[in-house]
Amino acid sequence: MSTMKTGKKERKIGSSPRRSAPVRRVRAGWARVLALWAVSLLMIGCDGAERNVTPARDGAPAPAERSSDVVLFLGTSLTAGYGLPGEQAYPARIQEKIDSAGLPFRVVNAGVSGETSAGALRRLDWLLRQPFDVLVLETGANDMLRGTHPDSTRANIHAMIRRVREQRPEARVILAGMLALPNLGREYGQRFETIYRDVARQENVTLVPFLLEGVATEPRLNLADGIHPNEAGQRHVARTVWAALEPVLREEAGR
């Protein structure tokens, strides 16, 4: 697979190849919640779509009022705000941070529960009809739950970033990483988790190493299913994403 050269300096957070102590603790913590695997399978259901306790969202961005200054969040139920009102999902909390910082950007949440990376790739062409300046890409969690081969997920993420580059060469991309559940095996976990670091390096995009850093396995930060962040957890996720997004927005606003 060829590597895309953009001429931009690579931007990554925590790019050390060794896992941090918090990440090691998260992996150990996930070993204690393997019983939730059955819950995940029930949520996925026969057709692969997660069942939300709130009305299903179609992930369609609101009609754009202007052709610039848009941050588009493309993701799964983690982005859609599974089980919560839309205003409590982390993209909405990001909007609050943007407003507080006085930055001229508007958030559009295009998260869809149950979507795989293949589904996100199919949906991308329609999303590319909408104006945006920054894309926050969160995908792969449902691939992992299904045991999809990591090479397939990797190829889909590469394809999405390259398609954005082809049609929106000035758009910035932030890639949110995910860890694999430990019961999928060490080999699968290692291959899955390297997807995000490798793609971020090869495509020269900003990386959030683990979207659920500090949230995964923390009961007080998750819904009863133990998988999806609650309101407090979504605020924590917003802080994690903001650490990567804020410098990008300030740079874009200064152009």
* 145: enclosing H helix or E strand: helix 141-146
What is the band of 26 on the pLDDT scale with cuts at 50, 70, 90? Answer: low
Whose structure tokens read 């860890």? Answer: 179
Whose structure tokens read 């329609």? Answer: 126
Are 143 and 152 in contact by the 8 Å Cβ rule? The answer is: yes
Domains and CATH numbers, the chain: 21-48+67-253 (3.40.50.1110)
- Look up the pTM and report it: 0.79
117-142 tens-digit pLDDT? 999 999 999 999 999 999 999 999 99
Report whether pLDDT(167) > 90: yes
Write down the pLDDT at residue 28. 54
Are 23 and 210 in contact by the 8 Å Cβ rule? The answer is: yes
Q: What proportions of the chain, in percent to the nearest 5, are helix, strand and coil?
A: 50, 10, 40
Active site residue 77: yes
Whose structure tokens read 């909390």? Answer: 93
Concatenated DSSP letters for 195-241? Answer: HHHHHHHHHT-EEES-TTTTTTT-GGGB-TTSSSB-HHHHHHHHHHH
Reference 194, options 233, 227, 153; nearest CA is 153
Specify the higher pLDDT residue, 95 or 19: 95
169 contact partners, CB below 8 Å, separation of at least 6: none
Reference 26, options 226, 218, 252; nearest CA is 218
Mean pLDDT of the chain: 83
Phi, psi (degrees; rounded to nearest 5) at 223:
-70, 180
- Tell me which of 69, 133, 158, 228 is the catalytic residue: 228
Q: Among 8-12, 19-23, 204-208, which is the least confidently predicted range?
A: 8-12
Report whether pLDDT(47) > 50: no
Write down the pLDDT at residue 10. 41
- Tell me which of 77, 117, 143, 158 is the catalytic residue: 77
